[in-house]
Structure 1
């Protein structure tokens, strides 16, 4: 039985990866280093502290990770508030479908709690989710399973009875490591992501099969 549906956020609920890439490129320049978007793509799905820890080491940045994170977060929230963005097409209808079926939904995102809150307030959907978990609130971020296991715990669901929507290789790896079924959403703005480990891959939210097909595809019934 399907007990819960868990959403990633960036690239799934909000098409925010272009914003992230732009701010991250600017952040690197601000701290006196250069990086390409293609090089940044391998970090998609990771938490910011983990990402910048690796970048600081690889690019020999002199400033602390804490300083970099502070500048990056302030820049991203400012950019988000100024951007005329809407939820990814089909997401609101899909969340409503889950509500009609009385299937609890949650968010398990690698973004910091402050950024998640800003996105949900911007779209007016904060009340739709029974739980919201940031990868920065658990021991290890994606591709470790911690954030998804925590979301399942808060939703009162068995991990093996949860279904996840993800757009990144790290995110899918995290969902699978948690023992969950996972839908891979192809978002061109998320870069060249390997979604091959997903149980199903779609290019539009509207292409996620109707609920009657869940048992056949995922082995999860609704009753």
Structure 2
């Protein structure tokens, strides 16, 4: 889908009753900032972190708790998961969150859908971090609810986040439309039996980063 009208027609044609937006990488341009916060965290703890390319391709959409566990196993690290995630979130909020902005095309879609169809943010991030990002950018008002990894048992690619959204608003999964950017998110939507749009198809909203 290349433009706003395509999305509107898709919503009408498929009788969509709830829009579910991923936060990091879909609604908010955060991938680079999260990577830098993770890299700083691991450096502070005396460990190397993965390259930006690997982070973007393999771990985008993965919750912090799951990411630390994966890297512990991969590199034989013994980091305490909760403490590591807390440190990373603190670094992200202190050093990077002020520069985070929403993707313009996705924000335009949100603004044009506001008041017409309910919208939910469903994120693998921590509640405090997600709320802070939305509040700083003054866009919380557009969403009827914010669901995060703290509200469910399993993050993406499991469907828990999206199914929690549909359950809260008594909407069938097939009546939901998910906006995602990562393979984990696409799989989560599929596992939830929900329709999904890759936000990369909403025009050229992503800036390709050159970090290594």
Query: TM-score band (shorter)?
Result: 0.7 to 0.9
Match of 2:166 in 1: 152
* Cα distance, 1:81 vs structure 2: 3.9
The separation in 1 between residues aligned to 2:199 and 2:106, in whole angstroms, is 12
Q: How does 1:2-21 map to 2 (within 5 A)?
A: 2-21=16-35
Match of 1:76 in 2: 92
* Cα distance, 1:24 vs structure 2: 1.1
Q: Which runs of 5+ in 1 are unaligned?
A: 187-200, 206-223
Check the 8 A contact 1:131/1:154 in 2, yes or no: no
* Cα distance, 1:128 vs structure 2: 1.1
Check the 8 A contact 2:177/2:194 in 1, yes or no: yes
Check the 8 A contact 1:12/1:167 in 2, yes or no: yes
The separation in 2 between residues aligned to 1:97 and 1:155, in whole angstroms, is 21
Q: CA RMSD in A?
A: 1.6
The separation in 1 between residues aligned to 2:85 and 2:111, in whole angstroms, is 35
Check the 8 A contact 1:166/1:182 in 2, yes or no: yes
- CA offsets per residue over residues 99-149 of structure 1, 9 Å max, x none? 25x211001111110110111101111121111111232111000000000
Among 123, 127, 131, which residue is 2:137 paired with? 123
Matched residue SS, 1:79: helix
Q: How does 1:201-216 map to 2 (within 5 A)?
A: 201-204=201-204
Aligned residues: 189
Match of 2:72 in 1: 56
Q: Taking CA–CA contacts closer than 8 Å with sequence separation of 6 or more, which of the two structures ends up with the larger relative contact order? A: 2
> Taking structure 1 as the reference length, what is the TM-score of the superposition?
0.79
